[in-house]
Amino acid sequence: MNQIKTILVGVDFSECSRCALEQAVRLARWNDAALNVIHVMDSSAQDNSFTTFQPELDELRRLNREHAISRLAEWTKEAGAPAGHSREVINGAPLDVLLQETRSRQTDLLVLGITGDSLLPYGAGTMATKCLRKTGTKVLLVKQTHPRTFRRIVACVDFSATAQEVVKHALRVAGQDHAELHFLHVFQAEWNNWSSPARLPALTDFERGYSALLEGNLRQFAQAPPEASAVYVVTQAKTHGHGIAEYCRSVDADLVVLGNKGRTTLIKYMMLGSTVERLLKESPTSVLVVRPPAAPAESAPAGNGAKRLPLFQRPEPSHVHSFDAAGG
The hierarchical CATH code for the domain 149-328 is: 3.40.50.620
Q: Strands 286-290 and 138-142: what pairing? A: antiparallel
Q: How confident is the model at residue 276 (pLDDT cuts 50, 70, 90)?
A: low
Q: Please give the full DSSP string across 210-235, using - where no structure is assigned.
A: HHHHHHHHHHHHTPPPTTS-EEEEEE
220 vs 273: which has the higher pLDDT: 220
What integer pLDDT is reported at residue 109 of this predicted model?
96
Please compute the mean of the pLDDT values over residues 100-108 and round it to a whole number.
95
Question: From the CB of residue 83, how many other CB atoms can be counted at a distance below 10 Å?
Answer: 4
Domain 1-145 identical in fold to domain 149-328 = yes
pTM metric for this prediction? 0.80
For the chain, domain boundaries: 1-145, 149-328
What is the C-alpha separation between 286 and 303, in angstroms, rounded?
Answer: 39
Integer Cα distance of 68 and 62 in angstroms? 10
Of the pLDDT bands very low, low, confident and very high (cuts 50, 70, 90), residue 1 is low
Q: Residue 214 in contact with residue 234, Cβ under 8 Å?
A: yes
Q: 1-145 has which fold?
A: Rossmann fold (3.40.50)
Residues 216-227, mean pLDDT to the nearest whole number: 92
Residue 280: which H helix or E strand, with range? helix 274-282
The one-character DSSP state at 82 is P
- Does residue 301 carry a pLDDT above 50? no
Burial class (CB in 10 A: 0-12, 13-18, 19+), 254: buried
**pLDDT per position as a tens digit, 179-219:** 999 999 998 887 777 776 566 777 888 888 999 999 999 99
8 Å CB contact between 137 and 107: yes
Give 19-56 pLDDT, tens digit per residue: 999 999 999 999 999 999 999 998 766 655 556 677 78
pLDDT class of 226 with cuts at 50, 70, 90: confident
Secondary structure of 74-140 as H, E, C letters: HHHHHHCCCCCCEEEEEEECHHHHHHHHHHHCCCCEEEEECCCCCCCCCCCCHHHHHHHHHCCCEEE
